[in-house]
Amino acid sequence: MASIKCKEIKKKARQISVIKFEDMDVEVENKSGLEMIGKGRQGAVFKINDQLCMKIYGEIEDCEREYYALSLGKNTPLLPKVHCKGENFVVMDMVYGVDLREYLQVNPLTKELSYKLIEMLLVFKEIGYERIDHHKRQIYLQHDGSLKVIDVGRTVWRNRTYPYPRKLLMSLGEDYKAVFLSHVKEAAPELYNEWEHYMQMEEISRQLFDKISSEKSIDSKSLGEKTTNLLTTNDTAKHYAQLENLVRKVVKEEKNRELEKQNEMEDQKKKAKQNEMKAQMKKAKKEEKNRESEKKNEMKAQKKKAKK
C-alpha cells in the first residue's frame, strides 16, 4: 500500500461539508473531487483509492466515538485499520465483500456462519465494547470466509444497552432469527437460555406497557379527594405522634452513621499500623541484608590481605 499523505487528505476533508440532522441521513456538500460511496445518520464515506476511504462526520463527538471504537479493535482483523485521523474524519481501509443483508437474500444461514457471528460477539466483548450487538447490513463477508464490520461508533460510550444481541436478531428477520437461535442453542445452550430469558422479559415489559397505556385515565380530582385519608396534621394527637416517630428515626439514623464513621476510622488506623509494620519489617530486612553483604565484603578483603 502506498504511503498515506495525511496532510493532503486533510485538505480534501476541508472541501467537504457534512451536516447532521436528527433521525435523517447527513446532508453533504462535496467540492473535493472524491467519490462519495455511502452516507448515513452520522457521516459520509468517500473513496480515496482502491485501498482507502475517508469517513467524515457531522459531529466531532461521533468522530471521536468511532475512532475510539476502532482503536479498541486495532489488533483484531474484524475491523478496518485506521491510517489517519482529523478533527472530524477518519481514514481507514476500504471494506469489500458482501454485506450479510445481501448475502442472506440468496444464501442460507449455515451453522458455520452462525458460529462466526457468535465469535464476532465474543470479540466485541473481549475488546471492551459496551454494546455486544450489530446490524446485519454492517457485517461483511470476505472472500476468504472471514467477517469485517463497519460503523462501530455506537458500540461504545453507551449508558444503556440490551443484554442480548437484539439488533442482530431483529435485522435477521423471523425466519433467520429462528435458525440462528437454533444454532446458538446447539453450540451454547446456556447462552441460548439467557437470551431467551431476556427476550421473554422484554415481551412481558411490552405487554405491561400496552396494558397500562390502554387503561382508563385516573380522575385527578377524585384521587385528590381520596388522599385526605393520608393526612396526619389535621389530627393533633396523630400529628405529635408522627413528629415523635420522625425525631426518633432521625436520631437513630444519625447514631448509626456516627458509629459507621468510627468503625471506618478504626479500620483505617489498623490498616495504617499494618502498613507501617510491614514497612519497618521490610526496612529491617534490607538493613540486615546490607550488613550481611558488608560482612562478606569485609571477609573477602581480609582474605586478600592475608594472601599478600
Domain that holds residue 76: 6-93
pLDDT on residue 30: 97
Same domain, 168 and 86: no
Same domain, 83 and 120: no
Same domain, 70 and 126: no
Same domain, 106 and 203: yes
Same domain, 83 and 138: no
Residue with cell 446458538: 184
Q: Report if residue 119 sits inside a domain.
A: yes
pLDDT on residue 308: 65
What integer is the mean pLDDT of 285-308?
85
Residue ending a domain, choose from 209, 231, 250: 209
The answer on pLDDT for 2 being more than 60 is: no
Burial class (CB in 10 A: 0-12, 13-18, 19+), 40: middle
Q: Kindly give the pairing relationship between strand 147-149 and strand 139-141.
A: antiparallel
Number of domains in the chain: 2
The dihedral formed by the CA atoms of 237, 238, 240 and 243, expressed in degrees to the nearest 10: 170
Same domain, 66 and 146: no
Residue ending a domain, choose from 93, 114, 139: 93
Q: Report if residue 77 sits inside a domain.
A: yes
Residue ending a domain, choose from 145, 174, 209: 209
Q: Report if residue 291 sits inside a domain.
A: no
Q: Report if residue 88 sits inside a domain.
A: yes
Render pLDDT for 80-128 as a digit per residue (tens, 0 to 9).
999 999 999 999 999 999 999 999 999 999 999 999 999 999 999 999 9
Q: Report if residue 279 sits inside a domain.
A: no
Q: Report if residue 215 sits inside a domain.
A: no
pLDDT on residue 204: 97
Q: CA angle, corner 283, sides to 280 and 285, nearest 5? A: 110
pLDDT on residue 219: 82
Q: Give the chain's end-to-end CA distance (angstroms, integer).
A: 71
The answer on pLDDT for 1 being more than 70 is: no
Q: Report if residue 25 sits inside a domain.
A: yes
Nearest to 66 by CA among 146, 136, 156, 197: 156
Centre a 10 Å sphere on the Cβ of residue 88 and count the other Cβ atoms it contains. Answer: 19
Q: What is the CATH number of the domain that holds 23?
A: 3.30.200.20
Q: Report if residue 160 sits inside a domain.
A: yes
Same domain, 65 and 126: no
What integer is the mean pLDDT of 288-307?
85
Render pLDDT for 200-249 as a digit per residue (tens, 0 to 9).
999 999 999 999 888 887 788 888 888 888 888 988 988 999 999 999 99
